[in-house]
Amino acid sequence: MNKRRIVTAAIILLIGLFVILNVFALIPDINPFSKSQEEAAQGGQPQGPGRNPGGVSRNATTIRVTPVTPQTIERSVIINGEILARNQVTIYPAVGGRLVDTRLGVGDRVNRGDVVAMVDPSRPGEVYSQSPVVSTVSGTVLQAPFSIGDTVTTQSGVYVVGDLSSLLIETRIAERFVSSIRQGLRATLWLEAIPGETFTAEVFEINPVIDPDSRTLRIRLRFVGADSRIKAGMFATISLVTSRRINVPVIPRMSVINTYGSWIVFIVDEKNIARRREVTLGIDNEDFIEILEGVNFGDVVVSAGQNFLSDGDLVRIVD
């Protein structure tokens, strides 16, 4: 009797489950296993922001951007130079012989026409009058390489005299930069003797001939503004501006990507979609680069995260 009851109850339970399943099948709105025709056509994924037309979920890529604005960009070359007196002249004796008198030391002032030394041209068995060495310029003694008793010739520079009231910077620039050098080019200087400060100079003299041995060109610069702390003989590091462009589209150098020989950037439109742009590059420096073609003022260029982008990707901009 108990077995019959158990079998009867199981049959009734199965019939009930069958009826319930058929009822849900007839009512799609409450059928958790059914799909609407629209969802079925979309592969089971509802359309909306963050999903592409194929129905595959698309996450927004996090990026940083930089607006394209008119800027000035400069390209520089770093070289070394030496501070010299602008008017620096070597004083030579009129005759050769033994130096018997020196009247000046380094740092002394001298006037043009002053007698600065005496040379005895006498030889064994012969006696001659001493010959004066006369300064041909006014200034300060910068070098005095000889001492009394030294033998000098007409090619021996007894003194080097310079005008310390006007200093210059002498340097040499590599041949590949020669075409960019012209008078008036500005430069920034750093001096080891005055750390932490910069000084401004400009090119005023360009040698017309390249040195055939070093393949360099000698140029001279003058300071823009005097500073009494700067002395002749100091060593200078020079950043010389070789190219300068004003009011041009400039973007961070890291924004540009080289792909298969072409340069591209990504810009972001008003819908936060990344758009690929091929660009033509102008001059550059360590941080920025000029864009000749491909972007316009007002465009928003991706400056971080661009290496993970494809054309049409959704992006999320962060500061």
Report the CATH number that the domain containing residue 211 is assigned in CATH: 2.40.30.170
Model pTM score: 0.55
177 plus 286 within the same structural domain:
no
Q: In the listed set 162, 183, 202, which residue is the last one of a domain according to the structure? A: 162
Per-residue pLDDT at 45 = 42
pLDDT above 80: residue 43: no
Mean pLDDT of the region 204-223: 93
195 plus 292 within the same structural domain:
no
124 plus 232 within the same structural domain:
no
Q: Is 54 within the bounds of a domain?
A: no
Full domain range(s) for residue 103: 87-162
80 plus 203 within the same structural domain:
yes
80 plus 189 within the same structural domain:
yes
53-62, 68-77, 141-150, 171-180: least confident range: 53-62
* pLDDT tens readout for residues 72-107: 998 888 999 999 887 889 999 999 999 999 999 988
35-49, 210-224, 294-308: least confident range: 35-49
Per-residue pLDDT at 116 = 95
Which is more confidently placed, 112 or 232?
Answer: 112
CATH number at residue 130: 2.40.50.100
Which is more confidently placed, 232 or 40?
Answer: 232
Mean pLDDT of the region 152-162: 93
pLDDT above 60: residue 49: no
pLDDT above 60: residue 227: yes
Q: In the listed set 203, 229, 244, which residue is the last one of a domain according to the structure? A: 244
- Structural contact between residues 304 and 268, judged by C-beta atoms closer than 8 angstroms: no
CATH number at residue 283: 2.40.420.20
Q: Is 97 within the bounds of a domain?
A: yes
110 plus 259 within the same structural domain:
no
Q: Is 201 within the bounds of a domain?
A: yes
Residues 6+ apart with CB under 8 A from 296: 68, 249
- Structural contact between residues 249 and 291, judged by C-beta atoms closer than 8 angstroms: yes
80 plus 193 within the same structural domain:
yes
Please give the tally of structural domains in the chain.
Answer: 4
166 band by pLDDT with thresholds 50, 70 and 90: confident
Q: In the listed set 124, 140, 162, which residue is the last one of a domain according to the structure? A: 162
170 plus 80 within the same structural domain:
yes
* pLDDT tens readout for residues 231-244: 888 999 999 988 88
- Give whichever of 3-7, 115-119, 304-308 has the largest mean pLDDT: 115-119
Structure tokens at 252: 């961070």
Q: Is 55 within the bounds of a domain?
A: no
Mean pLDDT of the region 6-31: 62
Residues 6+ apart with CB under 8 A from 43: 54, 55
pLDDT above 70: residue 34: no
Q: Is 40 within the bounds of a domain?
A: no
174 plus 80 within the same structural domain:
yes
198 plus 80 within the same structural domain:
yes
Q: Mean pLDDT of all residues in the chain?
A: 84
Per-residue pLDDT at 225 = 83
Q: Is 129 within the bounds of a domain?
A: yes
Q: Is 283 within the bounds of a domain?
A: yes
Share of the chain above pLDDT 90, in %: 56
Pair type for strands 167-174 and 139-143:
unpaired
Q: Where are the alpha helices (DSSP H) in 31-70?
A: 37-41
Q: Is 100 within the bounds of a domain?
A: yes
- Structural contact between residues 174 and 216, judged by C-beta atoms closer than 8 angstroms: yes
Mean pLDDT of the region 197-224: 93
* pLDDT tens readout for residues 269-311: 999 999 999 999 998 888 899 999 999 999 999 999 888 899 9
